[in-house]
Each structure stands twice: as structure tokens, then as C-alpha cells.
Amino acid sequence: MAKSRSLKKTSSKDVKLSSVMSAVGDDEDDLSIDEQAISASEDEEGNDDERKHKKLLEAISAMGGRKRKKQNERSEASVEVSEFFVNAEGTGDKVNLSDLLKTMDNSSAASSNTKKQLKNLQNTKQTLELPLNKQQAEKIQRAIAYEKTAKEVSSWDDIIKQNRKAEQIVFPLKHEPSGPKRVEEVVARWKFQTPLEQEIFSVLHRNRQPTNDPVLTPAEDASLKAMSLEEAKIRRAELQKARVLQSYFEAKAKREKAIKSKTYHKFKKKDSRKCFVKDFEEMVKTNPEEALDELKKIELARMKERMSLKHQNSGKWAKSKAIMAKYDDSARKAMQEQLQMNKDLTRKIAVPSDDEHENIEDASETVPDFANDPEPVTDAVNPWMRGQLTHEKPKVSRVTTEDVQTAQEENENEEEELLGEFEKKRKLWQADEEDLIPTEEESKREEPASEVVEEDVLDKEEDVVSDEEAEDISEFSSLFRLMSSKKTIQKKKGPSQTQEGLNAPRRDDEEELLNEGEIRVRNLEDLEVLDEVVEPQPIRKQSLPETAVEKDTSEPPNKKKREISLQEVLTKEATVVKVPFLPTVVEEEEHGEQISLIKEAFAGDDVISDFIKDKKKQEADAMPKEVDLTLPGWGDWGGVGLQPSHKKRKRFTIKPTPPPPRQDRKLPDVIIPEKRSVLTASHQVIQLPFFFENVEQFESTIRTPIGQTWNTPSVVRKLTKPKVITKLGTIIEPIVKEDFIHKTTTPAGERPEITLGGNECSGDPELSSKKPLRRSRKRKNNTN
Amino acid sequence: MKVKVLSRNPDDYVRETTRDIQRVPRNYDPTLHPFEVAREYTRALNATKLEKVFAKPFVAALDGHRDGISCITKHNKSLSTVLSGACDGEVKVWNLPKRQCLRTVQAHEGFVRGICSRFCGTSFFTIGDDKTIKQWNMEAPEYGVREEPLNMILGKTVFTGIDHNQRQATFATCGQSVDIWDEQRSSPIRSFSWGADSFSCVRFNPVETDLLASCASDRSIVLYDTRESAPLRKVVMRLRSNTLCWNPMEAYYFTCANEDYNLYTYDMRYLDLPVIVHKDHVSAVLDVDYSPTGQEFVSASFDRTIRIFPKDKGHSREVYHTKRMQHVICVRWSADSKYVLSGSDEMNIRLWKANASEKLGLLSQREKNAATYKKKLMEKYQQHPQVKRIARHRHLPRDIMKQRRKLWEMTEAQRRKQRNVRKHSKPGSVPLLSEKEKKVAAVVE
């Protein structure tokens, strides 16, 4: 019974549910229909009020009819009526999910998928777990939040490490970039005040010159983008090279310009003219059009020359020369030269035109002498003509004066010679330059080159060297000559001791430099003898290695040698001090004088020998002594006048272990006391300070001086760089995230910055940032 | 004829101005300048001595308060302005260069517990024992106009600390709970409480501006994030922390001033152990503030001294005290990192130099160079006993010395006791704890 009853109930419920649902669905439709009805009736008529009223009542009754009916049904269906429940039917019975979902099976609206899911749900008998208690939930929340913030904060790791390692930090951290700003940036903040400024602004505006952030115009931007980094690098390298070459050429030109010798310039000019003619001929062959242009230029120059009074012997100088010409050959020659110049310049040039006739006529019209001149002839086809003409030329000139002719001949000879000489000189300069910037190749090449130069110079020396030349040659070359001359002298004298070294090639010479110290030791002994016999000789001997050192770029052999010599000096008597130390030849004499002076002043006290004695004594003191433990009388006869036997004594003396080698054993002029002195002990570091691994490390930090007595200003600046620099009177703001960490990992980073005066509510961004988090947490809880 | 003449570039030997010294060409040949180590050592020693001679850190005392100073804050935009609150409810605005009080406001009844200025420097907030938060205009009202707060919030409980966000219009207070307030609202937008019933200090992180930390009376330090609804984590120590301060240059480090005479620097990511324990005070540390460069911090103590610690050193590099200075309640480092301000019980605010022997004012380039050279020399020879001895020497009042000796004896006794206990118990049962480990009681998630 009960079962059937419950079934009934459920069925009735189903009906109810469906009816309710349908009612809910239908109501809206009904309403819309009614409204239509009302509106229709209104349209049809509007006169009879009674009918209208009736219809309205009917409509209202029709509207509420069903509902009332339903209520009636409900009331009928209910078995028990309670004052608390509207419908007390089925009280005490459980409502199953299946009851609720039965309608789903009937209605086609629900998809089969959902139906399946629902069925599955119906079948499962698992119950949901209890939610976590509040404390635990909060703990999880906190843990997640903490991890998140810790991760976020860790993005500072790199910056903090970097700042800690940095040699120098300048506060405030965000300083404006030093140096000049772009004009546009400055202008951006500035506003016009005067009409003129306004005008300028309007012009700028018209041209769409951006004043603000993208400072570059679109075209400029595009051009910037066009070139890649590598291309830019290559281009930069090219430009650099070009610039360097240019500077080389400039320097060369400057040097040549600085040559004051008039003769040089004269001959150079001539040379260049010759060159030009040669080129011109080439050009006629290869590029006649350009040659024509050149010709026109020459023609123009000729016209100018003809118009002017230059080279006409009418100037002040020419007049004065004219007076002198009577007595002075050179003046006459000069005047002649000038006239010749005028002639050369005003000479008509044969234009390579198809009309030969004209050409000849022109030539005949103008002075025939000039036409015969070989240089401007452009007819490349007929070399014979040209050759003849050149041959004729001196004849023509001979017509004027004999002197001029001879002079020219001489000149030509001289020209060749002098040019050659200048070439040599230039070579010398080049060598000089190469010395300044020695590359690997050059350094290899240096020795033979210098030898060649030497020879040249030697040749020159044998010739009569004019003062002018001596001036032109650089100091280096003169020095060189000096040195080589010394060599020659020595060669002539041929001292037996150093002959081997001199005859050997230069390489050996250098090696000898390294071995020099040992030779010197021997020499010094000899020197004492030599000193008395020949005075200048030691000096010359000294000069030889020293000059060699000068040639050599590397210092060390020199230093070493000096050290050794010092030692010698100290172990010998004071008289040896006469040997000069300093490298230059000139200074040597002065130094010698000084030394002799000092010697004179301290004639009485022999400081050096005292020092040596003192050192020896110290050394002796420092040596541990033998301990004699022999007891006279033990196993032996004892008594006054009886000594223990030698054998016994030997047996009972304890030989000490030799002490570690003295620190000053290789320093002849220094005494380093081995005993720990009480006075200095208080200033010495006893323990190795923390973070130093060994003593050497610590000592090396102490050993390098940082003061400006020992270092150049830039080095001092670098060494004494303070770790932290603050600017006076500037507020140091805390580090700002946006300046250092650019990637925005969290939504917090996207938050708009709050303006200074603004009282913005910070709630919204917070909420937005929190929403996803909450969701995720919920999800997490559910899964748990 | 060519005449050869010596010619030199005048730039090499002519001084730029008549005030400059004559330029002397130098020869850096090391043989001409022997004994470099010995000479530099002498210079270093002299520099150290001179540094001690010129060490006069005390600059000025600002007097005018009629009760002990309870809090100090810096103006965020002006170096010369400082605000202070006293125990009688008075707030004073000071001008440091003139050493004058510009303005006096009777802000609260009872103590002014906390004061902080807004990030833009236009107004400041005070809290007091009368359970109110008041916002005041930074500029004084016109003559004859009464001092009125811009804004006033009446709270339910007493507030004990306040701090303003570095970049947003929010501020945090602490009392029975840590509240985050929006400037425009009269009720907190967020309220955190986690076990403890009262908090003594709350500080925003100046770098990660959403983070904040507070010291609670249950010996804990609690971290919060304003974006979260719950606190992040807390670390419970052996004794209570009075205040804490975040490093303004290193986002995750903060230092707390503890009742156990020490300061502890924590990395907020690893709270189970402090990074460094800073020892030297002989009484409870009451306040701590970082230098704006983040390299050092200053602490104020009940033992009537203030000390300056390098952030990564266990001991202080400087200690300041005067006969008249009593318990130092609050201390702040000026925003240009040159000065330190301390407010103490005996109603005075004292201005100290951060580097005791530093010369004040503009320096010429040569002076600067000399100073940097001296500093570097002292650094180079700091390990040498004489230099070390002089550089380290500080005069301390007898009380503090006594206290120090006593403390030393106490710690020695404890150590001895521990050692004995360990010796007479099962091996491994009494673990050997480091000083850092001893101080952290628990980390609560």
C-alpha cells in the first residue's frame, strides 16, 4: 500500500511540476495574447462603455482563470493542511533526485548528454567531503599568498646582488643621464611666450616636426631602422679607416709643407710639372675628353698669365735684381728664370683639333720658340716630332744666354741628386715614425732598415754634409749619426777587449747586453787600471752599450745590468763609483762631476765600507753558533792547563741547523734585519685577516701604493673610488621597481601609477587583481 | 738659419686659477719614491688619528617640546623639514637649517603615538591615545586661523602605529589589529588580525609597496600583503620586537629592534633564521631606521645611546651619546643620508652627523680627493693593529661599560652552563644552537 501510495504521490508531483513549469512558460504567451485582444477591441469600437467593461472583466477573468483552478487543484490534492506549510503533502518523506529529474526524461529540451550525466550522478553513492575547517583553510590561503609574494620579491635578487658587487653606487639611483640633452627634450617642456616664438612653433607644427617623445620624424626613424648593427659596425670601421688614412696623408702633407728649403720646393714643383705632363700624355691616350678639359684649363691659365704683369721682371724684387744683375751671376740667373717662367706659361698650346692648318698658323703667329717646346705637345701619334723638339729646346735657350743654359744643365743634375737626397731624408723620417708606432712587422724589419740608414748616414758623413741638411734631418737621425760615428772611431781604434762584440751582428750585440754585467765585473777590475792610464776610454765604452739600449725598445736588460753594476760598486772601493750609471752620453760627464764632487765632500768617511762591515757583522750575528757541551774531566784527565781532547770536543759540539737564507742576500745595498724588532712589532699584522686566503694575497694588497706620489691622477682616481656616492642636498628615494624590473609578471605591475595630487581609490585595481586568485583558491579547495 | 728653442705647452705648468696651487710636473719613477708602503702606512695612521680628532658628530639639539618625544618623521619632499610628536599630544614642525620650530599643533589628548607624512609631502597623519587618526595640512594656517585637521577618523580602539604607503593614497595603522585605510574613507578597507591582541609597529615596504610588516605583542613579526585578504606569515621570536624597518634599496630585507638588546635582519623569504644578528646595545632597542642608501641603519636604545650599524655587520661602527641624552625613543636617518635625528625622553631632538668626522658643506675637488684618499688608506690599513686600535676606540659612559661587562659575564655563564649540560647528557640530546637559531621561537604559516 505504502509503495503504491508513494508512487501516486510521485506521479501527482510530477504532474504538478510539469503543470507549474508549463504555466510559467504559458503565462507570458497568454499575457501577450490578451494585450493583443485588448488593443484589437479598442480598434474596433470605442463607443459602447458597457460592452467594453464587460470585455475587460471577461479578459481579467480569463487571465486569472487557470491560476485559480490550479489553486483549487492543489488544495484538493493536499491531505493534511498545516498552518506552517502551504502544501503539506508528503511530509516526512524524502525527496529524491530522481523525483525531481523525471521530467527531464519526458522533456526533449534537455540534451542526451546532460541526461547521461545526471544518470551517472544518480548512480554514484559517494558523499562530498566536509569542507576544511576555517583555520586550516586560512593556513592554506596564507601559504599560497606567501609563496606568491616571496616569488614576486625574488625578482629583486639580481639587482640586489649587482648592487652589492658594484664597485661604486651613486645615489640617487635614478639620475638623469649626464651630458648634453637633445634639444627636442628641452624644448618639449618649454612654451612660447613671444609672437616670434609662436611663429616658429607654427612653422614647426606645419612641418610635423615631433617635439615630444618620438623625437625623430618618421623618415629618420625609417632610416635608423634600415641599417642593422653589423652593417653599422662595418660602416663605422670603414669610416675609421678612411679617417686614419686621411690623417696620415694630412700629416705627411704637413711635414712636406714644413720643409723650408726653397730648392726642395723648387725642384718639387718642377717634378710635379713633369709628372703632370706625363699624366697628361697618358690622358690623351686613354681619355681624350678629359684631356681637352685639362687643355682648356691650361689655356685659361695662359690667358691669365698674359694679362697679368707677373713674371715680367717688373716687380720690386725684379728691379732690385736688375740692379744687382751687373755684378751678380745668381741675380741674373734668377731674372732669367723668371722670364723663362713667363715664357713657359704664356706659350700657346697646340690644341688637338682636326684643322692642322690653323694649328700651324697659330704657332706661326705666336712666338715660334714656345711652339717648339716639347711639353704641351699632345700629338701622341708622332713621337719623333716630340723627340726632336725636345732636342731642339736647349738650342733655343742657348740663344738667350749661355749662362742660363749651363745653369739649367746643372740644375737638372742637381735636381736629380737633391731629390734623391730628399728621398733619403724622407725615408729617415719614415723610420722615425715607425719607431713611434712599432708593429710586429716593423719591429722585425727595424734592424736591417736601421743598418741601411746607418750606412747612408755614414756615406753622407764622408761627404761634406751641409748645414742645411743637418737641420732637416730629425734629431733621431743626428743621434744615430753620432752613435755610428762613435762606432767608427772605435773600429778605427780597435780595442782588443770589445772587438768580438763589435764585429758580431746586432743580435749578438743585444745578447751581449744581457751578459754585459759579467763582462763588466771583469772590466771593472781592469777599469781601475784603465782609469789612471786613459781617462776618456771608460766613458766611451759605457756609451756603446747605452746607445744600443736606446735603440732597443725593451728596458729590462738595461735595468738588470744596472743592478749588477750597483752590486759591484758596493763590493768594491769607493773609487769605482766613477763609472757612470745614467744612460745618456751627455749626462755622463755631469754625473761624473757630481760623483767626484760628492767624493770630495765626503773624502774622510768611508760610508760604504762601513755599511758593508755592518752588514757582515749582522750576518755573523744572525748565524746560530755551535754549542760546545764537552765537560772537561769526564772520562779524561782534568786539571789546570789540560784541554779536553779534540776528538771529544768534536763529539760533544752540536752543530746548528743553518738558518733560512737571509732576505737581503741578493741586495748588496740593503740590510734587512732578521730579528723581529720590538719597535715595529706593534705596527705589524700578526694574524691573517679574514677573507684573505694566504699571506701573499694580503701582502700584495698592501704593497701596491694608491697615493698620487706613486700613481698618475687617473689611476689615483680609479684606486680611491669611494664605494657609495651621495649627492649633497638631494633626497634619495627608495629604489623603484619600474626602473629596474621591466617585465610585469603580476597584475600588480599593470596598475596605473597614482599621480601626486590625486586621491584615487585604490580599491578597484586591487579587486581586479584578486579575483582570479580567489577563483583559483576555490578550485583548489574543491579538489581537496 | 734655424734657432732651436725650448718650448712647452703652458697647460702643463700654468694653473687654471690663482686660487689653485702651482702645478708641479711629477716623475713617477718608483726609484725616486721609495718606501711606499711605509709612507702610506704613516699616512693611514695619521688619517685615522685626524679622523678621531675631527669626529664631532653632534650638530644641534632642537628643544621646545614639553614632554618626551614619542615619534619623529621626515618630510617626504623637503630635506629641511622634520615633524615630531611628543607625549603631551603636541606635534611640532621643525626647520633643520635654522634649527627652529616653525609650527606647533596640539594634535591629540595624551600621547602622539605615531606620525607619518604623505608621499607627496602635502599633508601628514597623526595618531594618538584619544583613538583618532588626524590628517593635517603640511602648511601652517594663516594668521589668526585655528589649527584644524583636514580630516579626522574616530577609531574604536587606541592606535599605536601608523605608516603611509610610498606611492598610493593608502595608509596602515596598528592597534588591536592592522588596518589598511584609504584616505577617502572613514573605515578601513582591510583589517588583519592573527592571534595577537596588540601591535606596536607597522611599516610599509618602500619598494614593494603592497607589502607591510608589523610587530605584535605576542613576540611575533607578521607580514602582510594589501592585495591578500589574510596575513602572509609570522615569525615568533624569544622576546618582543619593538619596531622594524625595511631596507629601502633591498626589497626583501628588514631589520627589527628587539627587546633582547639586539637587532635582527631578516630576509622575508626565509624567516626561520635571521640573516644577521646585530649586537652592541646594552638595553632594549626601541627604534630603528635605515639610511636611504640602504647600506647602514641607525638604532635607538633604552641604554641612552644611538648606534649605527652597517647592514651586513654584526657590530656597530659608531655609537653616539651625550651626558644629557636619556632613553632614546625614536630615531630617523635624513633623506640625504648625511644626518641622523634622535628624539629622546628628555624632550630634545638631536641632530647628528651620520659620519662623525665628515666635513660639512660644499667641498672643493681637492678636498674631496683628499678625503677619498684618506678613506681608502684607512680601509687599506684597517687590519694593522695601530690603525685598528685608534679607529675602533670609542668613549662610553661608565654605566654602559658596566652593563656591558655584566652582559658579557651573563652570556659567558650561560655558555658555560650549556657546555656543562651538554657534557653530562647523552651525546646529541642537547643540540648546539647558533646565536641565530636561539632567537627564533617559531615560524607560523
| Residue % of chain A over a pLDDT of 70 | 49
Chain B nearest-CA residue for A765: B227
Nearest alpha-carbon partner for B341 in B31, B35, B69: B69
- How confident is the model over A538-593, as pLDDT tens digits? 334 333 334 343 444 444 444 444 444 444 444 444 444 444 444 444 455 667 88
Q: Averaging pLDDT over each range in A179-188, B20-29, B321-330, which range is the top one?
A: B321-330
Collect all residues of chain A within an 8 Å Cβ-Cβ radius of residue B233. Answer: 142, 146
**Spatial contact of A497 and A523, defined as CB atoms under 8 Å apart:** yes
Q: Is residue B393 part of a domain?
A: no
Backbone angles phi, psi at A29, to 5 degrees: -60, -45
Sheet harboring B348-353: ordered strands across?
A: B58-63, B348-353, B339-344, B328-333
- How confident is the model over A694-722, as pLDDT tens digits? 999 999 999 999 999 999 989 999 999 99
Mean pLDDT of all residues belonging to chain A: 66
Contact flag A705-B28 (C-beta cutoff 8 Å): no
Candidate from B76, B182, B228 with C-beta closest to A762: B182
Residue with the larger pLDDT of the pair A263 and A481: A263
User: Hey, which residues 256-295 in chain A have their CB within 8 Å of chain B?
Assistant: 260
Angstrom distance (rounded) from CA A775 to CA A754: 28
Angstrom distance (rounded) from CA A66 to CA A251: 116
Mean pLDDT of all residues belonging to chain B: 93
Contact flag A710-B293 (C-beta cutoff 8 Å): no
Candidate from A145, A173, A730 with C-beta closest to B232: A145
**Does residue A771 have a pLDDT over 80?**
no
**Spatial contact of B133 and B181, defined as CB atoms under 8 Å apart:** yes
pLDDT band of residue A188 (cuts 50, 70, 90) is low
Chain A nearest-CA residue for B295: A724
Angstrom distance (rounded) from CA B178 to CA B224: 9
The sign one gets for the Cα dihedral B132, B135, B138, B144 is: negative
Any A CB within 8 A of B250 CB: yes
Angstrom distance (rounded) from CA B308 to CA B320: 8
CA distance to partner chain A, nearest, from residue B441 (Å): 19
Candidate from A146, A707, A757 with C-beta closest to B120: A757
Contact flag A735-B376 (C-beta cutoff 8 Å): no
CA distance to partner chain B, nearest, from residue A702 (Å): 7
Contact flag A720-B375 (C-beta cutoff 8 Å): yes
Sheet harboring B178-182: ordered strands across?
A: B161-164, B170-174, B178-182, B190-192
- How confident is the model over B319-335, as pLDDT tens digits? 999 999 999 999 999 99
**Does residue B22 have a pLDDT over 70?**
yes
Name the grid cell of B428. Answer: 646529541
CA distance to partner chain A, nearest, from residue B432 (Å): 24
Q: Which one of B26, B36, B203 would you mutate to disrupt binding with A, by most A Cβ within 10 Å of its Cβ?
A: B36
Collect all residues of chain A within an 8 Å Cβ-Cβ radius of residue B208. Answer: 149, 152-153, 737
**Does residue B419 have a pLDDT over 90?**
yes
Chain B nearest-CA residue for A144: B232
Chain B nearest-CA residue for A688: B383
Residue with the larger pLDDT of the pair A668 and B96: B96
Grid look-up 511530509 returns: A91
- How confident is the model over A39-67, as pLDDT tens digits? 444 444 455 688 888 888 888 877 765 55
**Does residue B443 have a pLDDT over 90?**
yes
Q: Is residue B179 part of a domain?
A: yes
Query: What is the pLDDT, as a whole number, of residue A183?
Result: 74
**Does residue B210 have a pLDDT over 70?**
yes
Collect all residues of chain B within an 8 Å Cβ-Cβ radius of residue A698. Answer: 383
Query: What is the pLDDT, as a whole number, of residue A194?
Result: 80
What string of H, E and C letters represents the secondary structure of A281-350?
A: HHHHHHCHHHHHHHHHHHHHHHHHHHHCCCCCCCCHHHHHHHHHHCCCHHHHHHHHHHHHHHHHHHCCCC
Query: What is the pLDDT, as a whole number, of residue B240?
Result: 95
Q: Is residue B333 part of a domain?
A: yes
Angstrom distance (rounded) from CA A492 to CA B204: 94
Q: Which ipTM value was assigned to this complex?
A: 0.92
Contact flag B380-A702 (C-beta cutoff 8 Å): yes
CATH number where B212 lies: 2.130.10.10
Note every long-range contact of B296-301, with CB atoms under 8 Å and residues 24 or more positions apart, other chains counting: B296/B354, B297/B245, B297/B247, B297/B255, B297/B263, B297/B333, B298/B331, B298/B332, B298/B333, B298/B340, B298/B354, B299/B257, B299/B263, B299/B331, B300/B257, B300/B328, B300/B329, B300/B330, B300/B331, B300/B342, B300/B344, B301/B261, B301/B327, B301/B328
Domain range for residue B114? 58-353
Please give the single-letter amino acid code of residue B158.
V
User: Hey, which residues 202-241 in chain B have their CB within 8 Å of chain A?
Assistant: 206-208, 210-211, 223, 225-233
Q: Is residue B412 part of a domain?
A: no
Collect all residues of chain A within an 8 Å Cβ-Cβ radius of residue B118. Answer: none
Angstrom distance (rounded) from CA A341 to CA A715: 62
Residues 6+ apart with CB under 8 A from B42: none
Angstrom distance (rounded) from CA A172 to CA A454: 64
Candidate from B232, B362, B383 with C-beta closest to A142: B232
Contact flag A732-B337 (C-beta cutoff 8 Å): yes
Q: Averaging pLDDT over each range in A86-95, B13-22, B297-306, which range is the top one?
A: B297-306
**Spatial contact of B213 and B244, defined as CB atoms under 8 Å apart:** yes
Any B CB within 8 A of A138 CB: yes
What is the bridge-based pairing of β-strands B306-310 and B296-301? antiparallel
Candidate from A260, A685, A734 with C-beta closest to B249: A734
Collect all residues of chain A within an 8 Å Cβ-Cβ radius of residue B6. Answer: none
First CA to last CA distance, chain A: 45
Any B CB within 8 A of A680 CB: no
What is the bridge-based pairing of β-strands B199-204 and A169-171? unpaired
Residue with the larger pLDDT of the pair B1 and A46: B1
Contact flag B183-A163 (C-beta cutoff 8 Å): no
Nearest alpha-carbon partner for B297 in B329, B259, B240, B249: B249
Q: How many domains are contained in chain B?
A: 1
Angstrom distance (rounded) from CA A236 to CA A230: 10
Contact flag B377-A471 (C-beta cutoff 8 Å): no
User: Hey, which residues 399-438 in chain B have their CB within 8 Å of chain A?
Assistant: none
The pTM assigned to this predicted structure is: 0.54
- How confident is the model over A160-180, as pLDDT tens digits? 999 999 999 999 887 666 667
Grid look-up 758623413 returns: A461
Angstrom distance (rounded) from CA A59 to CA A675: 130
Contact flag B337-A711 (C-beta cutoff 8 Å): no
Contact flag A724-B445 (C-beta cutoff 8 Å): no
Chain B nearest-CA residue for A754: B168
Name the grid cell of A635. Answer: 772520562
